[in-house]
Amino acid sequence: MKKFVLEFLHRGLIAAGFGPIVLAVVYIILQQTATVETLSVNQVCIGIFSITALAFVAGGMNAVYQIERLPLMVAILIHGGTLYLGYLGAYLLNDWLDFGAAPIIVFTAIFIVGYVVIWAIIYSITKTNTKKLNESLKKKKGQTAETVRPISKTPPYDKTPL
């Protein structure tokens, strides 16, 4: 557990630095679309703090995949559920999403589709890389087996130098 907490803190602190940058991009987009013209100091502060916290949690939650005893599907559910609650909370806190059944259902659907698409991409990339690595290992193992002369296992042992 200590290893997980340390890894969570390490990854979270690295990601937290990107939170304000993401927030600045969001605010620029909102200004360009004429959704927001001015922001109060309170809105800016809540935005900075909430997005920094969200980035910390999102970055840190990747450490859940380092827990070897945890089945992959359970890790995905923990990761996805935590991200969902974090994003939903940040969106509602910053008034980027209206509080109501319809907006939350739409947000949930978009989140699930996005999460599944990202996982499908990660899965296919990992599967492709694993296949290449396995082929490379088989090729290298085959070369090694051909270049090493087997030692006789029955007496008398072959003592000639290789």
Every domain of the chain and the residues it spans: 1-68
Question: Residue type for 88, please?
Answer: L
**∠ CA(85), CA(90), CA(91), 5° rounding?**
100
Confidence of residue 100 (pLDDT cuts 50, 70, 90): very high
More confident residue, 35 or 64: 64
Average pLDDT, the chain: 83
Nearest to 108 by CA among 123, 122, 128, 92: 92
Task: Decide if pLDDT at 152 tops 70.
Answer: no
Dist. CA 145–CA 79, nearest whole Å? 43
Identify the CA nearest to 90 among candidates 152, 19, 9, 6: 19
User: Tell me, what's the pLDDT at 68?
Assistant: 76
22-51: average pLDDT: 83
d(CA 109, CA 95): 19
Backbone conformation region of residue 39, classed left if phi is above 0, alpha if psi is from -120 to 50, else beta: beta
User: Binning pLDDT at 50, 70 and 90, where does residue 159 land?
Assistant: low
Q: How far is it, in rounded angstroms, from Cα 94 to Cα 109?
A: 20
Q: Is the pTM of this model over 0.85?
A: no
